[in-house]
Amino acid sequence: MESPFAAGQPSPPPRSLWVAVTPERPRLARLNGRQHSDVAIIGGGFMGLTAALKLAEASVGVALIEAAEIGWGASGRNNGLIAPGLKRDPHEVMSILGREAGTRLLRLSGDAPRIVFELIGVHDIDCDVNNRGWIQAAHSRAARAQMEQRVRFWQRHGSDVTLIPDSDVAQRLGTDYYCGALIDPRGGSLNPLAYVRGLATAAEAAGANLFEQSPALKIERDGNRWAVITPAGTIACSVVLCCTNAYCDGIADLHATVMPLRTAQIASEPLTEDQSRHILPGGESASDTQRLLTSFRLTADNRLIMGGASATAGDEHQDLFNRLHRAARNRFPGLSDISWQYHWSGYLALTRDHLPQIFKIADGYYAGIGCNGRGIAMATACGVELAALAHGKAERDCDIPVKKIRRFPGFALRHAGVAVAVRCKRILDYSERRFGR
């Protein structure tokens, strides 16, 4: 698996649209020597930086280490789509967690975009934020029927989620590829690299100590405290928060707890007004209901960005990019001659039950993990929960379940297993769309 720190040197981030358009921020120092802090955080993405910000604002001493550079992993690579809710439907969440815990997690997931938008507003983060909503598009009649249940659930819980009339779906999306859709005004989009860098700036201003090029080599007990050991330094602390999510292969305690799935994004050249005016004319972002979902939206500079469409357990990219090109042609055939200027990929974390969770590794040692493709909103919300947990919130009061570690059986065979699963999901998605099941 691609590593943020190889052969003693930090790996460069991919050549993504976000790297090209986002202003640089000053590089941070490596951790050198011994530092004492109340809380040590591993991982400089949405989750870790939100936790660092909230703890620093509460006058808790916090030191955060990042193996490469801020936003190197999924936080700087995703497509920028902010979607409320979870990958699983509400009734499935209730079945897995029970009514009380399920309702709390669902409520948090629905509220998570608001947390993102509030952080951006309070800390004046310039990240091309767009809060015009999120559209979920149904790829089949069966998916359209499930969508009705989803809408009823959120409406019962006070959210203004509605079905788009079937006659209006093509106009609202800019494509006739789908047979139904819902609109959720809680969602939106942003430049994820600018957002994560903005969180870092806000956390530093609040008093958090941030370090780059400082991978955690070992986390061990040091008397009645913890020691987080890096190549050139150590953090002695009372609480450790591991916020590496899919990029946890360097943390022995988290081996095989998530399935890292590599997905891709592509971004076009800036479109002309004539090319773009029919695509999501209301300014929303969109993703669909396929098992191998596809997302699409327009950026602030009028580029079409497509994401998803396939996955792999390895580091290979090209087939993922080719499938995104085909997905774009299928949905927007009038744009078949546009140039795709940026292609990049990265990992998301899939948990065994497809739900986010907080793993309790030991007393005072927690890991937030498994956003399952809803990373901007849920990773931010999980950072808030982890900060509260580190600051004394009882585990039973957390809205994200605090669980013992559960590992994937047969993890060593993940490459073959994911390849088979992806092929099966692709067949199911095609057959549902083609034959109406």
For 134-185+260-347, CATH gives: 3.30.9.10
pLDDT digits (tens, 9 = 90+) for 108-123: 999 999 999 999 999 9
Asked if residue 350 lies in contact with residue 370, where contact means CB atoms within 8 angstroms, the answer is yes
Task: Give the whole-angstrom CA distance, residue 325 versus residue 340.
Answer: 9
pLDDT at 106 exceeding the cut of 80: yes
* Domains 15-131+189-258+351-406 and 134-185+260-347 alike in fold: no
Euclidean distance between the first and final Cα of the chain, in Å? 36
With 0-12 / 13-18 / 19 or more C-beta atoms within 10 angstroms meaning exposed / middle / buried, residue 92 is middle
Asked if residue 45 lies in contact with residue 74, where contact means CB atoms within 8 angstroms, the answer is yes
Quick one: pLDDT band at residue 6, thresholds 50, 70, 90? Answer: low
For 374, how many CA atoms within 13 A lie in the half-sphere containing its CB?
28
Task: Give the domain ranges of the chain.
Answer: 15-131+189-258+351-406, 134-185+260-347
Q: Mean pLDDT over residues 45-61, rounded?
A: 98
For strands 218-222 and 162-163, give the pairing.
unpaired
For 425, how many CA atoms within 13 A lie in the half-sphere containing its CB?
15
What pLDDT sits at residue 370? 84
Q: For residues 317, 322, 325 and 331, what is the CA-based torsion angle, rounded to 10 degrees?
A: -110
Residue position matching structure tokens 């860098």: 197
What pLDDT sits at residue 436? 65
Q: Mean pLDDT over residues 374-400, rounded?
A: 95
pTM: 0.96
Question: Which residues fall within 8 angstroms of residue 223, CB to CB, at 6 or more apart?
Answer: none
What pLDDT sits at residue 94? 93
- Look over the chain and give the mean of its residue pLDDT values, rounded to a whole number: 93
What pLDDT sits at residue 41? 98
Asked if residue 310 lies in contact with residue 323, where contact means CB atoms within 8 angstroms, the answer is yes
pLDDT digits (tens, 9 = 90+) for 287-300: 999 999 999 999 99
Architecture of domain 15-131+189-258+351-406: 3-Layer(bba) Sandwich (3.50)
